[in-house]
């Protein structure tokens, strides 16, 4: 790094209207789509874990608060759930909207609600297009929550958003929220290229940078490099940077409990399995049941 360079916290782009949008340049959205693969390539482990728990608790309506291009929402629609999908990035949403339009003849897709919404104003945003509604489940998966960085260095924004997720749940409803195993990533200076969520067929190299301020990790930048040129020599050069707040397991667990006023049932999974089954998991998935 040279002295007149800057360390950009994301690939160039521009925030969506009033909202932070790391996908605003459109390229990230397209490359991301390639990275996560086709919707029928969701890993079986993920699908079984999510739909299994939803059914076990009788959940019928699901709010996907980080729907992105819509891939998880469509998996749930296809499995018979009623889904409301929101995202702050209109560059991501346009892929979801296109998919919905193409399948509008199917009743589930005709009823699929897709809207722009911002976690910081989530209850109000939902009130605008669905007055008086609460959900059986809220999902915030695929390491999405960590996109929210810690602007004020006191996690006030994260805390507010978690409370908003709790607020739009019905009593007894479930929140699914995950984050990468940042504790391990910081210790090892590396990020697993394979994902538990999707079967990406291309080799992926992830360069991991950690910014440590006054001794405290404040930002993790992942430079994804996806090489699809084996398959197509003219393939777009697929490099982009996404930045994350590196949630430690302990601190995140406490913050999540506090968002439910310490009264939710809180289960933590490691790569969709019991915590003690996976020695060094890639992801932690928290499932909260609102009382």
Euclidean distance between CA atoms 180 and 127, whole angstroms: 31
Please, which residue, 26 or 134, has the CB nearer to a second copy?
26
What are 95-103's contacts with CB under 8 Å, separation 24+? 95/29, 95/33, 95/68, 95/69, 95/70, 96/67, 96/68, 96/69, 96/70, 99/69, 99/70, 99/74, 100/70
Cβ pair 179, 284 in contact under 8 A: yes
Residue 97 binding a second copy, by CB under 8 A: yes
Euclidean distance between CA atoms 181 and 26, whole angstroms: 27
Please, which residue, 10 or 179, has the CB nearer to a second copy?
10
Among positions 193-252, residues that touch a second copy (CB under 8 A) are: 207-216, 218-219, 243
Q: Which two tokens stand for residue 230?
A: 């084996």
Active-site choice (23, 46, 197, 269): 23
CA-angle at 274, arms to 76 and 83, nearest 5°: 15
Residue 78 binding a second copy, by CB under 8 A: no
Residue 11 binding a second copy, by CB under 8 A: no
Active-site choice (198, 224, 245, 269): 198
Active-site choice (10, 180, 247, 286): 180
Q: Is 224 in the active site? A: no
Out of 20, 33, 108, 170, the residue judged to bind a second copy by CB under 8 A: 20
Got the DSSP string for 227-248? --TTT-TTPPPEEEEEEE----
Out of 48, 111, 151, 261, the residue judged to bind a second copy by CB under 8 A: 151
Q: Is 284 in the active site? A: no
Which residues make up each annotated binding site for S-adenosyl-L-methionine? 23, 32, 42, 66, 87, 118-119, 141
Euclidean distance between CA atoms 9 and 22, whole angstroms: 9
Q: Catalytic positions, please?
A: 23, 142, 147, 180, 198
Positions that interact with a second copy (CB under 8 A): 1-10, 12-17, 20, 22, 24-27, 30, 90-91, 93-94, 97, 100-101, 104, 110, 147-151, 188-190, 207-216, 218-219, 243
């Amino acid at each position: 790094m040279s002295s007149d360079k800057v360390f950009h916290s994301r690939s160039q782009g521009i925030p969506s209207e009033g909202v932070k949008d790391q996908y605003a340049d459109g390229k990230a959205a397209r490359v991301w789509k390639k990275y996560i693969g086709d919707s029928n390539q969701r890993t079986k482990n993920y699908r079984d874990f999510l739909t299994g728990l939803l059914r076990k608790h009788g959940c019928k309506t699901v709010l996907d608060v980080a729907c992105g291009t819509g891939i998880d929402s469509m998996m749930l629609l296809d499995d018979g759930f009623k889904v409301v999908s929101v995202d702050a990035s209109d560059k991501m949403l346009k892929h979801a909207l296109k998919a919905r339009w193409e399948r509008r003849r199917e009743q589930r897709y005709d009823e699929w609600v897709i809207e722009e919404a911002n976690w910081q104003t989530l209850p109000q945003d939902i009130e605008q297009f669905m007055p008086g509604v609460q959900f059986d489940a809220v999902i915030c998966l695929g390491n999405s929550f960590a996109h929210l960085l810690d602007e004020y260095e006191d996690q006030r924004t994260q805390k507010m958003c978690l409370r908003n997720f709790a607020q739009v749940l019905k009593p007894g409803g479930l929140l699914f929220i995950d984050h990468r195993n940042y504790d391990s990533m910081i210790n090892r200076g590396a990020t697993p290229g394979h994902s538990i969520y999707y079967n990406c067929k291309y080799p992926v190299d992830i360069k991991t940078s950690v910014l440590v301020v006054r001794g405290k990790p404040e930002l993790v930048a992942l430079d994804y490099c996806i090489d699809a040129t084996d398959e197509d020599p003219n393939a777009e050069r697929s490099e982009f940077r996404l930045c994350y707040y590196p949630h430690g397991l302990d601190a995140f667990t406490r913050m999540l409990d506090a968002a439910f006023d310490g009264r939710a049932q809180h289960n933590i999974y490691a790569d969709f399995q019991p915590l003690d089954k996976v020695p060094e998991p890639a992801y932690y998935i928290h499932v909260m049941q609102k009382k």
